[in-house]
Structure 1
Amino acid sequence: MSITTSEIEARPVNSDEWQQIVDLRRAGVTISGIATRLQISRNTVRRALSFDEPPGDHRPRTGSSADALVPAITALLDENPEITVAQLHRSLQWNGSRNTLAQVVRRVRGDRATRQRKRDEAARTTITSDIPRFSTSFVGRNDDLRQLRLSLGDNRLVTIAGPGGIGKTRLAAEAAMDFRRAFADGVRFIELASLRNDTLLPQAILDALGFDDPDMPERSAQESLVESLRHRHLLIVLDNCEHLIDACAQSISAILRNTTHVKILITSREILAIPDERVHVLDPLSMTDEHDPERAGAAMELFENRAGAAIAGFSITDASRDAVRQVCTQLDGMPLAIELACARLNALSVNDLAARLDDRLSLLTVGNRGGPDRHRSLHATVEWSYDLCTAQEQILWARLSVFAEGFDLAMAESVCAGGPVDTGAVLDLLAGLVSRSVLRRDVENERVRFRMLETIRHFGAGKLSADEALRLRGVHLRWCADLVTSARKAWTGRGQERAGGRLRENRANLRLALQTALTDRTEETTSVASGFVATWFLWSSAFSVREHRMWVTSFLNLDTVTETRAAQLSATLGVLQTMQGDRGEAGRTLDDAARRARTLGDEATLAFALQTQGLNTYLGGDFEAGERHLAEALRLYEQIPESTDLMWTAHIEMGMLCSSNGETARAAEHFEFVRAQASGADEKWMLSYAVYGLGLVALVSGRYQRATEYATASLCLKRAFDDTVGATLVIDLLAWAEAASGAGERAAVLLGAASSMWDSFGMQLYGSRHWVQRREVYESRARTSLGDAAYEHARHRGATMSMSQLIAYALNEKRPDDAGATPHSNPELSPRERDIAQYVAEGLTNREIAAHMVLSVRTIDGHVSNLLRKLGVTRRRQVTAALIER
């Protein structure tokens, strides 16, 4: 008995079939005719027509009439990942159903996302360093991002050039994040705006690289930089190079000549003008979409996005579109100018904004005829924003320009209050400047700091009179000196860690203050600056050993330095030279320091010089002279209660000398003394050295497991400080203990890392031959246990580790990037994105979410796209599982 199609039970249909059924019905085809044509039952046709929207797929796909377009769709997505279905429909000249095309596009996007996730999982671990992260979305620069990818593929140096406020830094940061997986050694993003001394450029790059790479005291910083990069495969981003253009050109040329796999991306208002340079000129954002002239361009898209952040629910309507276009046109599509203008929408309508901006621009253009058009527009926008500030906000804005990189509330109150700006008013004024987009508020380690964009900072500086600028530089210098003095007072107590953190976060301010003193060269500024640069431990918290030595040497060469300061500076310089293994120079410097101190009757400086002379001679192999100097220093310190920190270091150094002599009991006494004292004071830095010393005693005594335990405990303590010298010493000890215990591979990795770290600031093991010989014993053990090839491989692995990777390895910790992820591979959702994600998980449409959150549908569209990307999913129904997984 045969069964007709009309008697077949209705079955589910997919979206393609549903659309075909609907199209045929609309064309006048009967239900029976549709069933016959599509070879399905009439009941299935009736069921399909009962749905107002395409039903979900209930069976495997059998193909689509748009499948032949997959290659073309893929190519267009490669060119523009954000292309819409409507744009694809036009580009492909597709005559079929848009829903059919949309389904194929979704499948292609899903397949691409899956392949990308697999590539990410298989990719080598990469490293990112200080890449700026922005709370606002990236708008209007996808084409530039693609061009940068092509340019970096064919060139090793690419410059993003354009005027201030055009968006160079933002584009470079996006490129750094987007391209990071293409470089085995990752990406380093280095901000140069606060660096004022071009001679420090190679050292600043070295510091930011964080590789702890080879260097010798006799090498220049540039030579050390080249050596550190010789075998690297990474991308370096140098941001804001225009004020260091000659130094950048020289340094970059040297890097490119001496490396093969390093690529460099810079942002600058001025090009380098060297043969290797490929320039990418960053144009203003466009008013219309280049692919569809009927649609608004990136400038208006940015305006809507930033205005939506200022006023919840803002969207461009038919009534406001012309005014928005007028504003964006008058601002020449400059991103910074648009963002500053949008910040005014909390007080003005778009039409008012357009009218006031027009008047203000006309006035300011007349006053700046010599400047480029774009600079006129940017200057006018900042000037207009300045005029909208209160008189006190204007004064504070100008005064805040004295800071480099960043500052906090207390700093602003200390340096910038006075006259019409009372200390008590600074907090409210800062809040006002943040709300007006003049300041950027950052939260670092649960503390709020403020920053100015360089364009805004320069504008503020231009509002200061010469006398006011000179006065503020002096106040800023004294504040920096007070910061160092406070750190010195807290250095032997529980406030030490916070003091070290304050020095690190204000490194740029300290540099600026010292440069101010070297430029002014008055007796007062020299006295203040030389006093804080003579602080002996700044190399462990504010500067590298190399940079600290440079500053000390610079002030010693000034004829305005007093005899007392010269003695202190000489003693500090002797420490730095000793750590670098520059023993001959250190001996002469310390002799001079001791002579000056005796003449002055300065017993504190004399004790410091004698102590360091003891360390220097001991490392050189003269144990008897070393012990004599150290013993004399300890005797003097007993009479100087304020020199606790240096007295502890003398005990540590005496303990090291006793360990080398085989006097383990005496060594342990010195180390235990410091451990007890430091623990009682809740001090951590010298405690780490005392614990290290006890590990050294354990090693010499043959208690290798105990030595390992002490070394790892010391390393944990050192994490809170930028003490490369101490961390290197501990890593070497740990390597020796591992080798003695039979862990050859770990020993080889740690030995390679320690060797590289020593080279980063001086000679191996302070240039001490008897210390180097001790290491060679353990190196031999590790090499014998592994064999030459395996040993060299493991050693090279350690030599290329970053400090954070090395410490994690030394402490047997599991890092996220050990599994192939990067620190930014699971980005956090913003609070708004979390709210939207919950609504998506509940099944709400974008229009319903927009109604719930009082936002435009277009804004929600953008947020949903971003959160799907962040969650690593391609479909809305996958959001719930992704949230649970998080």
Structure 2
Amino acid sequence: MNADEWAQIHRCHDDGESIKGIAARLGMSRNTVRRALSLAAAPDDHRRCKGSVSDDADRRIREILLENPGISIAEISRALQWERSRTLLSRKVNAVRAELPSPSARSDTVPTGLPQPTTSFVGRRNELRELRRLFGDHRLVSVVGPGGIGKTRLSVQAATEFRRAFPDGVRFVEFAAVRNEGLLAQALCDCLALENRDTHDRSAEDAALAHLRNRRMLLVFDNCEHVIDGAADLVSRLMVEAAGVRVLVTSRENLAIPGEYVFHLAPLKTDDGVGSDAMELFSRRAEAVLSGFVLDDGNVDAVRRICERLDGLPLAIELACTRLTVLSVDDLGDLLDRRLSVLSVGSRDRTPRHRSLQATIEWSYELCSSTEKLLWNRVASFADGFDLDMVVDVCSDDALPASVVLDSLAALVAKSVLLRDGDGRHVRFRMLESIREFGWGKLTAAERLAMSTRLLDWCARLIIDCAEHWYGPDQLAKAARVQENRGNIRAALHSALDDPDDGRGRAAAEALGAGRFLWACGISVREHRLWLTQALELPDVPSIIKGRILGVLGLVQTLQGDRDAAGFTLHRAGVIAEREHDVMNRAFVTHTSGLRDYFAGDFDSARVNLDAAARGYTDNSGPSELLATLAIHRGMLLSSLPDTDAAAEVFGAVFAQTETVDEWWFHSYATYGLGLVALLTGDVDRAVDLADDALRAHRAFADPVGTTLMCDLLGWALAEQRGGLRAVVVLGAASSMWGSFGQQLYGSEHWNSLRSKAVDTLHAQVPDAEFDNAWARGAAMSTAELYDYVFGTPAAHDAHEAADDPSASLSPREREVADLVASGLSNREIAEKLVLSTRTVEGHVEHVLHKLCLRRRAEVAEALVDHAAG
């Protein structure tokens, strides 16, 4: 055991990890871990890398700041036994702080995916406390219960309240819209902001696990029952390979895998009188529907009877309350009695709770107008959220005119059939799964097929419309539209591949053949390749369309660096283009072949093909997006010849043209190209600025290829600028992203030689141990975290804190525990609040007492108060 291992063991233990867990993570025996924890100081280590005293101080400062970002200069001085100038130490600390990401970046700036409830959370406090306790001792908890019992609402509330207990935050992954078990891991990658972190030889699951392996995070997997086997396989790997991750599953059945704690969610209590959770929920929802409603002696018995009759099911209670606009509480109770009695006679195969929920949904349905019923049934075809325009396009016809859709939609929202989401500027709607299933079940098989076809047609038009507007001011809005409808697109393509008859297969194929840049719109590279490959197997698709699909597939494979596959694919595409006289696709295939040749290092062939493609585009009035793409690729080739003057001219022309038409995607690539030229001609400062500008312009797009390329340029330029650790972090992140969707730098030896030069330069600037740590830190970042690191401002710190601050030595977790001890909470209560085991909390309390030089926990409050007063 060396000093670095000793420090890592203590960090893991301070974070609450068990001895068994530390041993498994670090690949050592438990006795070694115990021995390390028994040592108050690190053992002498003669194997450390050699370097100057200054380098060693920087390394130790970095370790201290990573462990405790808020530590004072005075405490760092004591920890280092610093005997030199205090001003010099302050400069060193501030310089190291500037190189580290903001401590709040990972958990606060990355979207959690948590739905934003439109109503208040009622009751379930005992359940929340129990979940806190369970997560102290278990890494996997499945909340199991029937539809409508409140599993999702409880999980959202739990994730919201537990966020502080997980340094890397929480992520909510909705599986209801995923119909294909093979896309579960991709849905997880999407939620983790890994965007397209996968490749033809590395699965989305592997990419997600690599990202999560050293994270302390809570994942919520919602609505798993329809993909239960795939979810069980994914969670099983998480349990084995990501020791710091905890998973909360909601499902109608448990996963049945080792380590799972099954939490059976009961209905809301109805037998606690006026204070029962069920009656509280009824009162809150009734007040929202009927202004001035108050639970009093005159209606309490009727409300209790309603809640008992509905078995305390939250969804049933909420739906029943919408009827109070036209019924009194007594009338509502009487009608429910009659309806439930009738349903019970005809539905003996259902459980009482299922009958209660079914009866309530059925009643809500019957009280809708004929147009509202029809709209309910039809919007059930959406696998994901939707907006008004989508409803009009997909659901309206002669039977449901567009003129009545808005009023019917508003009525369904008022009846709690639809839930409204949005930021005030863009409103979308969604359905709870129980309600969606009910509406879908009201359609005949023929009607379901018709609605699936209409959704497919809408999604196909969306993809084609995005492709047609890929060059111009509407580009970003079109890309965002595709990204927010990933669930609907997946469901539509899946239905077309499942049943391609009557033109459905052709509609999907035409869209995929047109969507050349779908991989830059939030559809992952791997997923895009998957759909393209499957579309080639569709029957009755015209040859010309298959040729275009092959052309797009060849581009995706080329960007992945899979040149052998790309060569075969492009050959097939070229044969079809010639045979069908598809001049534009022929030019596109020639263009992509030139790009492939360039990445393979055959610059002469690349130039011939790119020149031929230019003639093909020009002679046939090629679209602006293909001309701009070709210009970017020609500029890259020219920069490699090297003919930097010609490259600057080509990139500069795209830069000016895109700026004129307010286009940003190609503009960011042109900015990157100008930065590349600046680097190659020795203008390092300009290269850094242009790489930064390119990334800023590109940030709004879910395009991993461009993001990675631009990060590489930034890292190279920072290396020449002596950017040290900052450059290493950026290149580590870029390396991970390349490896996640394809070959490093497209598998190009020429490009990789530039990268190797930058890495060698950085190794000369940074000691090996620090280099490895910084590289690993970058490699672990998601795309969103990388952007936060590049553009974020490190948290401000006071360099002149008092040297006698006794709490400065506490880690953030220890300070949190100390505050709770000071407020009078027991170890068990602290464990529940922070979602830790009681034993872990006991260890933190011991560390707090030791660091504050105290003997009893009762003295903690006084010590903290004395510091605050001072």
Superposition TM-score tier, normalisation by shorter sequence: 0.7 to 0.9
Aligned to 2:135: 152
Structure 2 match to 1:319: 298
Question: What is the alpha-carbon distance in structure 2 between the residues aligned to residue 365 and residue 632 of structure 1?
Answer: 74
Q: 1:251 to 1:121 in 2, by over 3 A?
A: same
C-alpha deviation, 1:563, in angstroms = 0.8
Tell me what 2:601 maps to: 621
Q: Given residue 270 of structure 1, which amino acid in structure 2 is its aligned partner?
A: E
Q: Distance in 2 between matches of 1:815 and 1:477?
A: 48
Contact persistence 1:236–1:262 (CA under 8 A): yes
Q: How many residues align?
A: 700
Q: Which residue of 1 aligns with 2:96?
A: none
Relative to structure 1, the CA distance from residue 426 to residue 262 in structure 2 (aligned partners, 3 Å threshold; closer, same or farther) is same
Find the partner of 1:201 among 184, 208, 216: 184
Whole-angstrom CA distance in 1 between matches of 2:213 and 2:582 = 47
SS, match of residue 317 in structure 1: coil
1:301 alignment partner in structure 2:
280
The equivalent residue for 2:624 is 644
Task: Give the superposition deviation at 1:267.
Answer: 0.3
Query: Partner amino acid for 1:381?
Result: T
The alpha carbon displacement at 1:578 in A equals 1.1
Q: Could you tell me which residue of structure 2 aligns to residue 799 of structure 1? A: 779
AA matched with 2:139: R
SS of the aligned residue for 1:641 comes to coil
Relative to structure 1, the CA distance from residue 585 to residue 259 in structure 2 (aligned partners, 3 Å threshold; closer, same or farther) is same
- The question of 1:496 aligning with 2:496 is answered no
**Residues 816-827 of structure 1 aligned to structure 2 (within 5 Å):** none
Match of 2:178, SS?
coil
The answer for unaligned runs of 5 or more in structure 1 is 1-118, 822-886
C-alpha separation between the residues in 2 aligned to 1:165 and 1:323?
A: 22
Q: SS of 1:130's equivalent?
A: coil
Partner of 1:129, secondary structure, is coil
The aligned counterpart of 1:396 is 375
1:778 lines up with 2:761 in the alignment: no
Contact 2:195–2:522 (Cα < 8 Å) also in 1: no
Question: Of residues 243, 255, 261 in structure 2, which corresponds to 1:272?
Answer: 255
Match of 2:678 in 1: 698
Alpha-carbon shift at residue 797 of structure 1 (Å): 2.1
1:168 aligned partner: 151
User: Is the CA contact (8 Å cut-off) linking 2:198 and 2:525 kept in structure 1?
Assistant: no
Letter paired with 1:273: A
Q: Which one-letter code corresponds to 1:227 in the other structure?
A: A
3-state SS in 2 of match to 1:158:
strand
Cα gap change, 1:160 to 1:808, in 2 (>3 Å): same
CA 1:388 to 1:204, structure 2 compared with 1: closer, same or farther past 3 Å? Answer: same
> How far apart, in 2, do the equivalents of 1:740 and 1:143 lie?
58
Q: Does 1:561 align with 2:541?
A: yes
Within the alignment, does 1:282 sit opposite 2:265 as a pair? yes
Alignment partner of 1:410 out of 384, 389, 393: 389
Displacement of 1:212 in angstroms is 6.4
Counterpart AA for 1:343: T
**Deviation per residue, 1:458-480 (Å, 9 max, x gap):** 11001111111111111111111
Post-superposition shift, 1:667?
0.9
Q: 2:709 aligns with which of 721, 726, 729?
A: 729
Moved more, 691-700 or 213-222: 213-222
Q: Do the aligned partners of 1:211 and 1:800 also contact (CA within 8 Å) in 2?
A: no
Structure-1 separation of matches of 2:791 and 2:505:
44
Q: Does 1:348 align with 2:327?
A: yes
Name the SS for the 1:638 alignment partner. Answer: helix
**Letter matched to residue 288 of structure 1:** D
For residues 770 and 598 of structure 1, do their structure 2 counterparts lie closer, same or farther at Cα, with a shift above 3 Å needed? same
Could you tell me which of 448, 456, 462 is aligned with 1:483?
Answer: 462
Query: 8 Å contact 2:211–2:782 — kept in the other structure?
Result: no
Query: 1:711 aligns to what?
Result: 691
Structure 2 residue runs of 5 or longer lacking an equivalent are: 1-67, 72-101, 799-810, 813-870
Conservation of the 8 A alpha-carbon contact between 2:196 and 2:526: no
CA shift digits 1:163-211 (9 cap, x unpaired): 1111111111111122222223221110000100111112221222224
TM-score (norm 1): 0.76
Shift of 1:791: 1.8
Shift, 1:805, TM fit: 2.8
2:721 to 741, 752, 756: 741
Taking the aligned partners of 1:565 and 1:440, their CA distance within structure 2 comes to: 39
1-structure distance, mates of 2:282, 2:304: 9
For 2:196 and 2:612, how far apart are their aligned partners in 1?
A: 37
Change over 3 Å in CA distance of 1:690–1:452 after alignment to 2:
same
Q: Compared with structure 1, are the counterparts of its residues 466 and 431 closer, same or farther at alpha carbon in structure 2 (3 Å cutoff)? A: same
Partner of 1:825: none
Deviation at 1:569, TM superposition (A): 0.7
8 Å CA contact 2:274, 2:280 repeated in 1: no
Moved more, 585-594 or 441-450: 441-450
1:635 aligns with 2:615: yes
2:494: which partner in 1?
Answer: 515
Residue 246 of structure 2 corresponds to which residue in structure 1? 263
Q: Aligned letter for 2:725?
A: E
Distance 2:639 2:194 in 1: 31
Distance 2:568 2:523 in 1: 24
Residue equivalent to 1:190: 173
Q: What fraction of aligned residue pairs are identical, expressed as a percent?
A: 47
Does 1:245 pair with 2:228? yes
For the pair shown, which has the larger CA radius of gyration, 1 or 2?
Answer: 1
The correspondence for 2:584, drawn from 580, 588, 604, is 604
Q: Which stretch shifts more, 414-423 or 689-698?
A: 414-423
Supply the distance in 2 between the matched residues of 1:352 and 1:817 (Cα, whole angstroms). Answer: 64
Which of 108, 117, 139 in structure 1 is aligned with 2:122? Answer: 139
Shift of 1:503: 0.8
Distance 1:667 1:410 in 2: 44
Residue 409 (structure 2) pairs with residue 426 (structure 1): no
The residue identity in structure 2 corresponding to 1:138 is F
Q: Matched residues in 2 for 1:634 and 1:710: separation? A: 27
Query: 2-side partners of 1:230 and 1:696: how far apart?
Result: 34
Q: Give the TM-score normalised by structure 2.
A: 0.78
Contact kept? 2:322, 2:415, Cα under 8 Å: yes
CA contact 1:744–1:781 (8 Å) conserved in 2:
no
- Once the two structures are TM-superposed, the CA of residue 253 in structure 1 deviates from its matched residue by 1.2
Which secondary structure does the structure 1 equivalent of 2:219 belong to?
strand
CA distance in 2, matches of 1:169, 1:642: 50
2:318 aligns with one of 323, 339, 342: 339
1:12-68 deviations in Å (ceiling 9; x for gaps): xxxxxxxxxxxxxxxxxxxxxxxxxxxxxxxxxxxxxxxxxxxxxxxxxxxxxxxxx
Give the structure 2 partner of residue 103 of structure 1: none
Deviates more, 1:437-446 or 1:189-198: 437-446
Superimposed CA distance per residue, residues 307-351 of structure 1 (whole angstroms, 9 cap, x where no aligned partner): 122222222000000010011011110111111111221222111
What SS class does the counterpart of residue 667 from structure 1 fall into? helix
C-alpha RMSD over aligned residues = 2.3
Say whether the 8 Å CA contact 2:211–2:781 is kept in structure 1. Answer: no
Q: How many Å apart are 1:232 and its aligned residue?
A: 2.4
1:137 partner amino acid? S
**Gap change, CA 1:394 and 1:812, over 3 Å in 2:** closer
What is the CA deviation profile of residues 767-808 of structure 1, one whole-angstrom value per residue up to 9, with x for unaligned ones?
212211111111122222121122222222222233233213
Which residue of the other structure, out of 113, 128, 132, is the alignment partner of 1:130? 113
1:815 to 1:722, Cα distance in 2 relative to 1, 3 A: farther
* Higher relative contact order, chain-length normalized (CA < 8 Å, sep 6+): 2
- Residues 377 and 154 (structure 1), Cα distance of their counterparts in 2 relative to 1, 3 Å cut: same
- 8 A contact 1:523–1:561 mirrored in 2: no
Aligned to 2:345: 366
Q: Once the 2 structures are TM-superposed, how far is the Cα of residue 642 of structure 1 from its aligned partner? A: 4.5
Displacement after TM superposition at 1:676 (Å):
2.3
Conserved 8 A contact 2:173-2:191: yes
1:785-838 Cα deviation digits (max 9, x unpaired): 1211222222222222332332132234468999x99xxxxxxxxxxxxxxxxx
1:674 aligns with 2:654: yes
Q: Partner of 2:550 in structure 1?
A: 570
Q: Distance in 2 between matches of 1:374 and 1:781?
A: 68
Q: How far apart are 1:419 and its partner, in Å?
A: 3.0
- Give the counterpart of 1:589 among 566, 569, 582: 569
1:376 corresponds, among 355, 367, 383, to 355
